[in-house]
Structure 1
Amino acid sequence: MVAPTPTVSPRERDVLAAIARGASNAEIARALVLSVRTVESHVSALLRKLGAADRHQLASMAAGLVDDVSRSPGGIRGVPAARTSFIGRDEEIASVRRLVTASRITTIVAPGGAGKTRLAAAVAGEVADAFPSGGGFVDLVPATPGSVAESVASALGVAQQPGQSLEATIAARLRGRSLLVLDNCEHVAESVAGLVSRLAEWLPELSILITSRERLAIPEETVIYLGPLRSVEDAVALFTERARSGGADLDPADQPRIAGICERVGRSPLAIELAAARFASLGFNGLEVALDDQLRALAGSRALSQRHRSMRAVVAWSYGLLARDERDVLARISLFSTTFDLPSAASVAGADVAVVADILGRLVDKSLVQRVAPGNGPARWTILEVVRQYAREQLDESADHESTVTAYVRWAGTIMGRLLGRITEPTWQDDLDAVIDDIRQAIDVQPGAAERYGLSVDAARLVSMRGFTDEAVERFRAAADIAPDAGAEFAALIQAAAAEHLVAGAGAQFQALIRLADRMGTHSSNRDAAGALAVIVATRFRGSNFDPPVDYDELAALIGTTRVGAGTEDADPAQTPPDTVHAYRAVARAWMSGSRPQEVELEAASMAVDAAQAFGDPALTSAALDALCTAHAVRGEPASSFDVCRRRLDLVSRMDATLPQTAVEVVDAYRAASTYAVAVGEIAAAVDTARRAAADPNVTAHPYAADGMLVTALALAGEHAETQRLGEILWSRIEAAGRPRHAPLAVPLLAAALAAGLSDDDAGMRRWRARAATMTADGVLANSPNLAPWEAFVRGRVALHSGTDLEEALAAASVDFTSGRFDGYAAAVAAELAMRLSEAEADELVERAAGYTTHNRWAAASRERALAQRAGDTAALTEVAECWARIGAEFERSATLELAREV
């Protein structure tokens, strides 16, 4: 007995193809827009399913399971598999294939039932090799005008990137020679036309194939009209094959009667299939009489074309021949806009699973329902679109309509609850994509506002986690519009504002919060308006680069107004019951406690932490701890700031990962922890933090955050090859985004320069330094207060390693830099350079470095190495090497031991 082929999900298939190409987990995560942890889960599942001993064996097994592993992830994703042979369309396939490879935009236009989808799928399968960058096949039947981009992103397996529109993320995935197939576009034609026009403008190598009942009428569109089957011979062949598959016994002498039936239904492929499915039970006489009756009943309708009347007549006839239980189930499941599984069908049909399974089998036999999951995968079904439309009309006119809609909405709520509980599982995203269109539809058909609020919030949380951030903004806003009370409205709008931060930065969140405060101020109670104003203040003082700038006095006036209705602003937090407004206000007051932004007073920050902890919101507590971290930094206590950052990271697992506010907070928590780990010379902690960040989907969704942290930490740890490899990935993402002038990105790029220089790659070092310079406003690293000491350190450390350009490096590193993350590094390398050169100022520079040794373990070890080297003390150098080992700087440990051997 041959063992069944293991079931590999589409996402696992993408991962398997990437493994076969030699990609690392981090590279796969970036390509597929997943977290590293999720990729690891997929790899583990594949090892188990395929029985592979290791990753190497997994890669060798991929060839038999993935069509072309040389393509980008997934090839042309989502092309529907052919269930039966495709008869009578050879000329059309050749024509469309030729147009797709030569034209930018090709549209197949035809009425329902003509076989547009089958033709598009056949062509996509045949031309895949001509599109090495892959692409996707998108069924837009369930899409609405507002969800076309989301449907495309789901089909491509991508998610919106922070600071980018979803369309821009889609464009990034389709860069290169790609094919995008948009199927069934007529009901969303305007939205599709806009998306297609923009993608065609941005992507000169992209080809787009469209199927629709009408042309889009956009530039560069080539239209091919798909009529009925060209010949009666093709029609007879189709009928014969389908009837025989249903158990009919046909004789060649029957062909004239078969031809008559095919002509009667306009040679429409779908109508022929429906008629053939009934032939075994009705025979020629029954089939001819039934079709005569149906066609005559619709012959007088002038609102429909002859072909449309024929198609509708066949569907109505086929529907009417169903048993009562078959009609009932088909009408009820017609609510599903896309595929569905058996439990879902049973839930909406209001019947036992076993009963519905039997009925679905009968409907499949009658060609009214299709089973779409191949092999031994989880079974899913779909209804042919023209059949769905007819069955939905029957449901809308029946007494079962209201109860069925209620069951459908209840199903959607249950599914969302389950998915929200599964967001750590590797397959949750694929499972959401399978039902998201029905979730959207269920929210729209639900009449009760109170019920819709909960559904809308849950849907917003899911699409936010899925990476459809623009949609999350709109869904949180929609939930606020139907909120049952002011508190619920406030909660939804706070999340909408946080989602705007994910899309366009803190400035966008700030403006959204200003609007929120105005809106909440219209309520009879001002408590939520006070809370909104407090969040505004905290957002402004924690963020930067606001456009337009916000005046300090204006913010002071805003925080004053938050006293309205609060009543607890001066109370002792320990004596105050947990309260939303009090907690938000305490955090805001902490951020405004100094004379200037970012000058937080320690006492105010401590009170904010107490208030937030009493309230019990881990995200708000994290914001309060951020204020405390800043307060310690202002006091020159970076080690205390680092300890506070670790407290923030402990809160990450307690935050609700499905909320945009959590995503904002988590990214900042990792950023701060990594920053202060480097600032105090805790390199092992910096690497650990960066690796944790790289496994968190909230961080990996950001195009640079995880990369930047890890590149910087690994450079200092001495993992130079990995630093440059990840640096190249980071640089490719920067280039894909148009090389934005964002000075913080120069930090990891300079770290890559350090790795190159310490690997004796002078050309590589120059290249990385030049790249870093392009991130600054004027292209000069030395003009940036934050970057100047870091660049000086990089130059100085490489000079010590190579023994060249020591004087120039010393001159650059011995400057009195602005206090920050890297001035201690510059001071330490300056001391070592001066000692190496036996400069007169060496003692002075060693003394300056001593000022950093209490709070920067790198500076402490570097200074001790300089002193031990000057003294020629082998034992001291060996002891210093152990200091480097303890902080996780392996290259420095080895370099110090080498110095000890030379003494």
Structure 2
Amino acid sequence: MTATGEVSAREAEVLALVGEHLSNAEIGARLFISVRTVESHVSSLLRKLALPDRRALAQRASELGRADRSHPAPALPTPLTSFVGRARERAELAEIVKTHRQVTAVGPGGVGKTRLALTLAAEAADEYADGVWFVDLVPVTDPGATVVAAAVAAALGLGEQPGTAIDESVVAALADRHALLVLDNCEQVRDGVAPFVERLLAACPRVTVLATSRARLMVPFERVYPVPPLSLAGDGESDAVALFLERAAAVGRPPDPALRDHVAAVCARLDGVALAIELAAARWSTLGLDGLTAGLSDQLRMLAGGSRADDRHRSVRAALDWSHALLEPADRALLRRVSVFVAPFTVAAAAEVAGSDVGMVADGLARLAEQSLLVVTASLGGTEYRALETIRQYGTERLTEAGELDDARARHLRWCLAEAAGLAVVGADWRARFDAVADDLRSALAWAADRPGQRTDAYRLARRLAELTFTRNLVGESQLRFAQAAALADDPADTASMLREAAAVAGCRMRGDDMYRFQRAAADAARRAGDTAGAAVDLATAATNAYRFWSKFARLTPEAEAVALIAEARELAGDDPAAAAALALAEAGVLTDAFGAAQGPAENAVPETVARAERAVELAHRTGDPLAESAALDALTGARSWAGDAFAAAATARRRITLLSAAPDTPAGTHELIDALGMATEAGLGAGDLPGARRWGRQLADHPLLAEVGHRATSWLLVAGAFAGNVDEVLTGSARFLEAWQRAGSPARSVLGPAVAGVAMIHGLRDDHDTRREWDAVLRRLGTPPEHVYGYGAVFDAMLMLHQGRAGEAWERLAPEPADVWKWVTWIWLHWYVALRAEASVLAGNPDAADRLAEARAVVAGNPVAAAIVERAAALFDDDRRRLLATAAAFDASGCRYQAARTLVLAGGDHAVRGSAALAGLGLAPMAPR
């Protein structure tokens, strides 16, 4: 029945019964009110509706009944704001309400239970002939069933009848009604609601009860529907973000769409709780997203001041105060003590941190979960509990008020230490086990690190967390934790040890400056500990790394500085074998790499460099340390490359891989292995071992620790792919390279030049001029060092020019004598340079082509690809097709499909048709005619 004008709900009921021509006594009996009250309502109706008598009133009631009888108006409060999202929850809850007569929507305060229930009730109003009725139980403080029944009676407009209990009146009024009764906020009067609802449903077969509560009612026929937080992400729109944007617009202007990800992050920090999101959105216009994000560390302070009519929802703190007040003292104590957990926790963990019996804690956690103060997750692996972030912060405040914070934190720290110590890095699930406790380890460390009394435990936890995060491939955090452990260590020897580990992790991250800084700091700590030999090793290693890993440095170490470090190390070394080996390596390494800055190879310098490196290898081998020996072998690899012996360099690089197969799985061991894989890849390219280079390059590119520097990890694999003509591999790898390079800030590192030049060449071979120009732009961003002008740049440019039939230009590009540009072509590019130079000379018709061929044969002998290029050029020079075609098989055997196809095209005739088809199959453009 819809009331008109200012007719009240009770008056509307009286009007309807007048329309049925009932007497005042009959109306009073039907509505459980006195006859005098009925007379008062009838008089009021005559006045409000301006009708002369009761007959006219009955006629008006009949008219209104005919017009509105099929659409009873829901007796629901009118929301002040729009309802956002919740499509899935609305559909689920509506379906449950259709099939169950008593449904309880449960969830923590502020999650949106009431709004969801009201929305559902409004949408379902047409399905209940006698309407929907809303009862707010917040004002009810007495948990007795009678008081609850009185609140329901008031909502229904029932008066109290002498001699009749109010609950009986309610049951009688609803006995034959088809209605939905919404009981909101039942948690504080559960003891009264449960028996009332049980009796009501037993006596009123067509009544359905939808209750909202922070805890289930615990009645036999109850169907519980947990109301989840607002959706944060998924296939559809995020309800949490939509709510934030709408409420933010209501107080000003909504955030720019470009900030949607930032809004989503804020909503995630708020666990998708509707109340928290609304309160945060209300402060967006004054704080902005940056201010909101900063304020989330104290959500209870920031999320206040909402425009809610209900005081409980004017702030998150008020909502939590309401729930907290309903708890027994023991449960309050448990809630505040488990608030130290950041991640989900078990009963056993909670018992240890709470300092209580496991059985008692289990019961307490169950009660807190029933009150929606903890989220419970049951699985085959066990049951876990979690507190939402606002509840955690609330519990921490309560811990402080109770004077229990330090004790609870200390117990949590001890638990974290035990968990970290027991995390064996074995089994496929170890990462999941680490992730499950990692946030708690970090939280405990953050607390302990600032307390002198916890310094020893903080050091132990920082060290273990550094080890675990390294193995978990969180290398940035690992470096931070090792440095933190060094700062917390009481013993300078421990400080030195942690700084060495931090240096190794920095090396894995390609952060040379950090590596150098940590290594020098380790020397200082070792000296304070009285370990002069250890300090000597650190100083010598810092000097070595400054040259050995120069491409990882933003600031190149001056030679004089490195020499000074070596001199200082020599004074401290004494007769310690490890120090002697480190010194020998520093002297060999600095000399070898500094040698590249000279104008040309002095005749005595190369043999001396090789001899120094061999001596470093011998001394390192005596120490029994595979990492020291590997580092020395690296120096020997470089020395042999300067000597022009590509095959000896490649063999030495492979020897490092074998040696490191049994090396410890530590930051230092991993750093050494990563470098060894890179060197083996480069050495394989220089010796023409393309399958080997691709194998080592693939291991390097796939190494999980290089995720931060994917562009560095994939660079040499791209070079190998470019030489082999593996177009698909280059296109896929180059996309990964470019994305990682841009993500890293597009660093202008010249060491990336060969990869970019190789990719640009492949696009040139494909006649994809637009993409080639894009990669040429990247190449210009990296600079044009001499290695580009005379080394890899000349090699890749010449390969493209020869493909395009521009042999004369290719010859000009390779015109400098190898001996004049030796320092830029020695190592990887020498054999490719002289072989392509010989072919360009032949195809360009140079008069001294025969001399170029002879010189090239002597240099590339033993290199399967470069030797085949020279042999092909010789066959072209001699016009010997049989020898020419034989090189195609040599290229195929060497994994160089592009050169094999090129050979067939150069052979002409039917062979050229097959060769052109092979080039097309590779995705390359046709070759220009000879």
TM-score (norm: length of structure 2): 0.60
Match of 2:230 in 1: 122
Q: 1:596/1:739 Cα in 2 relative to 1: closer, same or farther (>3 Å)?
A: closer
Distance 2:767 2:831 in 1: 25
From 168, 172, 181, the equivalent of 2:265 is 181
Distance 2:694 2:648 in 1: 19
1:87 aligns with 2:85: no
Match of 2:656 in 1: 648
From 313, 324, 327, the equivalent of 1:315 is 324
String of CA shifts for 1:802-824, please: whole Å, max 9, x gaps: 3x322212211232242222232
1:541 aligns with 2:547: yes
Q: 1:901/1:126 Cα in 2 relative to 1: closer, same or farther (>3 Å)?
A: closer
Q: 1:175/1:627 Cα in 2 relative to 1: closer, same or farther (>3 Å)?
A: farther
Match of 2:460 in 1: 454
Distance 2:231 2:294 in 1: 12
Helix, strand or coil: the match of 1:318? coil
State the Cα distance separating 1:723 from its structure 2 match: 0.9
Aligned residues: CA RMSD: 4.8
Match of 2:588 in 1: 590
Q: 1:582/1:543 Cα in 2 relative to 1: closer, same or farther (>3 Å)?
A: same
1:337–1:437 CA contact under 8 A, matched in 2: no
Q: 1:590/1:346 Cα in 2 relative to 1: closer, same or farther (>3 Å)?
A: farther
Match of 2:160 in 1: none
Question: Which region of structure 1 is more displaced relative to structure 2, 364-373 or 443-452?
Answer: 443-452
Helix, strand or coil: the match of 1:888? coil
Distance 1:873 1:604 in 2: 47
Question: Which region of structure 1 is more displaced relative to structure 2, 542-551 or 471-480?
Answer: 542-551
Distance 1:397 1:547 in 2: 49
Q: Structure 2, unaligned stretches of length 5 or more?
A: 1-87, 89-105, 120-213, 215-225, 245-257, 271-279, 597-605, 912-930
**Counterpart AA for 1:318:** L
Distance 1:537 1:423 in 2: 40
Helix, strand or coil: the match of 2:266? strand
Match of 2:442 in 1: 437
1:789–1:813 CA contact under 8 A, matched in 2: no
**Counterpart AA for 1:412:** E
Match of 2:370 in 1: 365
State the Cα distance separating 1:875 from its structure 2 match: 3.7
Match of 1:888 in 2: 895
Distance 2:498 2:767 in 1: 54
Q: Aligned ranges for residues 715-734 of structure 1 at < 5 Å?
A: 715-734=722-741
**Counterpart AA for 2:368:** L
Helix, strand or coil: the match of 1:568? coil
Distance 2:485 2:645 in 1: 44
1:372–1:380 CA contact under 8 A, matched in 2: yes
Distance 2:703 2:891 in 1: 29
Q: Aligned ranges for residues 379-458 of structure 1 at < 5 Å?
A: 379-383=383-387, 384-385=391-392, 388-389=395-396, 392-393=399-400, 397=404, 404-405=411-412, 407-415=414-422, 417-418=423-424, 420-421=425-426, 427=432, 430-431=435-436, 433=438, 435-438=440-443, 440-441=445-446, 444=449, 447=453, 449-458=455-464
Helix, strand or coil: the match of 2:375? strand
String of CA shifts for 1:309-345, please: whole Å, max 9, x gaps: x9558526514164xxxx7865654432332245644
Q: 1:399/1:522 Cα in 2 relative to 1: closer, same or farther (>3 Å)?
A: closer
Distance 1:647 1:378 in 2: 49
State the Cα distance separating 1:684 from its structure 2 match: 0.9
1:624 aligns with 2:708: no
2:412–2:444 CA contact under 8 A, matched in 1: no
Match of 1:797 in 2: 799
Distance 2:646 2:117 in 1: 73
User: What percent identity do the matched residue pairs reach?
Assistant: 22
Distance 2:641 2:886 in 1: 30
Q: 1:358/1:873 Cα in 2 relative to 1: closer, same or farther (>3 Å)?
A: farther
State the Cα distance separating 1:131 from its structure 2 match: 12
Match of 1:865 in 2: 872
State the Cα distance separating 1:861 from its structure 2 match: 1.1
1:609–1:624 CA contact under 8 A, matched in 2: yes
Distance 2:863 2:429 in 1: 37
Helix, strand or coil: the match of 1:851? helix
Match of 1:608 in 2: 616
State the Cα distance separating 1:492 from its structure 2 match: 0.7
State the Cα distance separating 1:866 from its structure 2 match: 1.2
2:409–2:444 CA contact under 8 A, matched in 1: no
2:496–2:521 CA contact under 8 A, matched in 1: no
**Counterpart AA for 1:621:** E
Q: 1:792/1:393 Cα in 2 relative to 1: closer, same or farther (>3 Å)?
A: closer
Match of 1:808 in 2: 809
Distance 1:843 1:82 in 2: 88
Q: Aligned ranges for residues 314-353 of structure 1 at < 5 Å?
A: 315=324, 318-320=327-329, 322=331, 333-341=338-346, 344-345=349-350, 348=353
The higher relative CO (CA closer than 8 Å, separation ≥ 6) is in 1
Match of 2:7 in 1: none
Helix, strand or coil: the match of 2:710? coil
From 697, 700, 708, the equivalent of 2:704 is 697
State the Cα distance separating 1:175 from its structure 2 match: 9.7
**Counterpart AA for 1:809:** A
Helix, strand or coil: the match of 2:709? coil
Q: 1:547/1:708 Cα in 2 relative to 1: closer, same or farther (>3 Å)?
A: closer
String of CA shifts for 1:94-135, please: whole Å, max 9, x gaps: xxxxxxxxxxxxxxxxxxxxx9xx999637459974899x99
Distance 2:901 2:557 in 1: 50
Match of 2:497 in 1: 491
Q: 1:856/1:467 Cα in 2 relative to 1: closer, same or farther (>3 Å)?
A: same
State the Cα distance separating 1:467 from its structure 2 match: 5.8
Q: 1:497/1:700 Cα in 2 relative to 1: closer, same or farther (>3 Å)?
A: same
Distance 1:492 1:393 in 2: 34
From 742, 747, 750, the equivalent of 1:743 is 750
Q: Structure 1, unaligned stretches of length 5 or more?
A: 1-63, 65-80, 94-114, 138-173, 187-195, 218-222, 232-262, 271-306, 570-578
From 690, 715, 734, the equivalent of 1:708 is 715
Q: 1:131/1:828 Cα in 2 relative to 1: closer, same or farther (>3 Å)?
A: farther
Helix, strand or coil: the match of 1:816? coil
1:528 aligns with 2:534: yes
Question: Which region of structure 1 is more displaced relative to structure 2, 786-795 or 487-496?
Answer: 786-795
Q: 1:634/1:704 Cα in 2 relative to 1: closer, same or farther (>3 Å)?
A: same
Match of 1:853 in 2: 860
String of CA shifts for 1:697-753, please: whole Å, max 9, x gaps: 123331311221221111112211331232233234434445432222221122112
1:622–1:665 CA contact under 8 A, matched in 2: yes
1:636 aligns with 2:644: yes
1:412–1:438 CA contact under 8 A, matched in 2: no
1:412–1:439 CA contact under 8 A, matched in 2: no
**Counterpart AA for 1:877:** L
String of CA shifts for 1:415-457, please: whole Å, max 9, x gaps: 5x33x44699664674465544345357547945554433221
Distance 1:895 1:211 in 2: 65
Helix, strand or coil: the match of 2:573? coil
Q: 1:532/1:658 Cα in 2 relative to 1: closer, same or farther (>3 Å)?
A: closer
Match of 2:517 in 1: 511
Q: 1:206/1:851 Cα in 2 relative to 1: closer, same or farther (>3 Å)?
A: farther
